[in-house]
């Protein structure tokens, strides 16, 4: 059980900066997601928390104790590797008991703990098998067993489902989340799959190029993206980012977009120049009375909903409509935006402008 605080942590490899001054807090018992595209520094961040990599600068606190420069063996953190890294020269039982042996725990207690873990994970029948011939799912369970048997302060998992096939991944992610809910241990989970992060996480940190773009609950990150990168990375299909030249004033409740007024949440800062209007596909509706127009270029049927791709004066726009709504390719339709949900970005810096929508969520001035 632990609260983990990351403060201004940086990591350089030679003259390449893998992680730029990052700060976030992982509360005790949270299932915490590190999300971002490949190469953005997620693994490096996780390894710094675990002590497999020492930060170039910055501090890491585990339960109030600064551990940034301590070796992994002294941090009492478990790590589930992407390829599991089960000791190939030991059988399942020895793999799981290995962390206990290092603590000098008595034989009987080790046995009891391994049996308990095996029961929780449903791997009692494979305890005496070599790890070589195990299926992907069983390897995953053994790796988890080795992590939980020690009852560590926190779990680090680096894309633990990445090595499994898609079919099994869903099942295993439910199993993982259920396990976490039962044990309540702080878990930091790395993934590049935004859907996985949204489904499983209590909190998410979104990283890009070694920079923390946003830190918050899945709802916050989905509804109030702090940057255009986050807006584009989260959601399938992603948020529409309609670029245009214009201006907004502080206090404004609408802006001029594509020749007509669009209602927006009350702005707390103004900007003039290259802007982008952020619209989730489900927050734009077909309405022939609305001033904005688009031509339906494609229809993707998804069962309960359908995704329409529209050509507009400011670029392509995706719209999620009920499956029952009639939409024909080639038709020109009116578009009504749901004003309370829109984000306005400074298209040059990529940052969201502060408004009533995102201000309480930590939007800066």
Partner 1 sequence: MSGYSVTEPSPRQKWIAGALVIGYAVITILPLVWILITGFKSPSDSISYPPKVFFEPTLEGYVNLFTTRTRVSPETLESLPPPETWYDEIVRRNDLVIAGPSRYGERFLNSIVIGFGSTFLSIFLGTLAAYAFSRFKVPLKDDLLFFILSTRMMPPIAVAIPIFLMFRQLGLSDTHLGMILLYTAVNISLAVWLLKGFIDEIPLEYEEAALIDGYTRFQAFYKVVLPQAATGIASTAIFCLIFAWNEYAFAVLLTSGTAQTAPPFIPTIIGVGGQDWPAVAAGATLFLLPVMVFTILLRKHLLRGITFGAVRK
Interface contacts to ligand ADP, rule CB under 6 A: 13, 16, 18, 36, 38-44
Which one, 17 or 306, has the nearer CB to partner 1?
A: 17
Q: Which stretch, 28-36, 96-104, 225-233, 346-354, contacts partner 1 (CB under 8 A)?
A: 96-104
Count residues near partner 1 (CB under 8 A): 22
Q: Which one of partner 1, ligand ADP, Mg ion, none is in contact with 103 (Cβ closer than 5 to 8 A by kind)? A: partner 1
Minimal distance in Å, beta carbon 64 to Mg ion?
A: 28
Q: Based on the shown chain and the rule CB under 5 A, indicate whether residue 43 belongs to the binding site for Mg ion.
A: yes
Stretch that binds Mg ion, among 42-50, 199-207, 208-216, 263-271 (CB under 5 A): 42-50
Distance CA 25, CA 9 (A): 12
Q: Is 145 in the site for partner 1 (CB under 8 A)?
A: no
Kind of pairing between the strands at 31-35 and 203-208: parallel
SS3 34: strand
Regarding 360 and contact with partner 1 (CB under 8 A), the answer is no
How many other C-beta atoms lie within 10 A of the C-beta of residue 133? 9
Placement of tokens 């399938």 in the chain? 236
Angle between helices 92-102 and 136-148 (to 10 degrees): 20
Alpha carbon of 356 to those of 250, 351, 364: distances in Å?
A: 11, 15, 12
Considering beta carbons, is residue 43 or 240 the nearer one to Mg ion? 43
Can you tell me the distance from the alpha carbon of 41 to that of 237, in angstroms, rounded to the nearest whole number? 25
CB 328 within 8 A of CB 251: no
Report whether the peptide linkage leading into residue 237 is cis, meaning its omega lies within 30 degrees of zero.
yes
- List binders of partner 1 among 63-82 (CB under 8 A): 71-73, 77-79, 81
| Minimum distance from residue 234 beta carbon to Mg ion (Å) | 19
Q: Which of 1, 83, 249, 298 binds partner 1 (CB under 8 A)?
A: 83
Query: How many angstroms separate the CA atoms of 291 and 278, rounded?
Result: 18
Partner touching 71 among Mg ion, ligand ADP, partner 1, none, CB below 5 to 8 Å by kind: partner 1
> What separation in angstroms does the CA of 326 have from each of 286, 296, 306, 308, 321?
10, 11, 10, 11, 9
Our finding on whether 57 is near partner 1 (CB under 8 A) is no
| Residues of the shown chain interacting with partner 1 in the complex, contacts defined by CB under 8 A | 50-52, 71-73, 77-79, 81, 83, 85-89, 98-99, 102-103, 146, 150
């Amino acid at each position: 059980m632990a609260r983990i605080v990351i403060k201004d942590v940086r990591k350089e490899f030679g003259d390449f900066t893998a992680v730029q001054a990052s700060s976030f807090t992982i509360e005790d018992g949270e299932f915490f997601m590190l999300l971002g595209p490949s190469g953005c520094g997620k693994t490096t961040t996780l390894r710094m928390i675990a002590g497999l990599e020492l930060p170039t600068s910055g501090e890491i606190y585990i339960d109030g104790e600064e551990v940034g420069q301590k070796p992994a063996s002294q941090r009492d953190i478990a790590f589930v590797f992407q390829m599991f890294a089960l000791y190939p020269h030991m059988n399942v039982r020895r793999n799981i008991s290995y962390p206990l042996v290092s603590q000098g725990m008595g034989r009987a207690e080790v046995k009891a703990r391994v049996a308990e873990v095996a029961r929780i994970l449903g791997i009692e029948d494979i305890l005496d098998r070599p790890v070589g011939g195990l299926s992907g799912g069983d390897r995953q369970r053994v790796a988890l067993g080795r992590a939980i048997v020690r009852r560590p302060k926190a779990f680090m998992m680096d894309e633990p489902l990445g090595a499994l096939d898609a079919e099994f991944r869903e099942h295993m992610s439910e199993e993982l989340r259920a396990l976490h809910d039962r044990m309540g241990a702080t878990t930091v989970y790395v993934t590049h799959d935004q859907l996985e992060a949204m489904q499983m996480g209590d909190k998410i940190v979104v990283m890009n190029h070694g920079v923390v773009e946003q830190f918050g609950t899945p709802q916050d990150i989905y509804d109030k993206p702090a940057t255009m990168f986050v807006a584009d990375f989260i959601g399938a299909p992603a948020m529409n980012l309609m670029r245009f030249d214009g201006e907004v004033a502080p206090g404004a409740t609408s802006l001029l977009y594509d020749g007509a007024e669009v209602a927006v949440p009350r702005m707390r800062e103004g900007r003039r120049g290259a802007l982008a209007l952020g619209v989730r596909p489900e927050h734009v509706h077909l309405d022939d009375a609305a001033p904005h127009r688009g031509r339906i270029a494609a229809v993707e049927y998804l069962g309960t909903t359908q995704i329409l791709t529209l050509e507009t004066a400011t670029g392509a726009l995706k719209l999620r409509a009920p499956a029952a709504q009639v939409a024909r390719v080639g038709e020109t339709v009116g578009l009504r935006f749901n004003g309370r949900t829109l984000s306005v970005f400074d298209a040059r810096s990529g940052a969201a402008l502060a408004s009533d929508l995102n201000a309480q969520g930590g939007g800066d001035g």
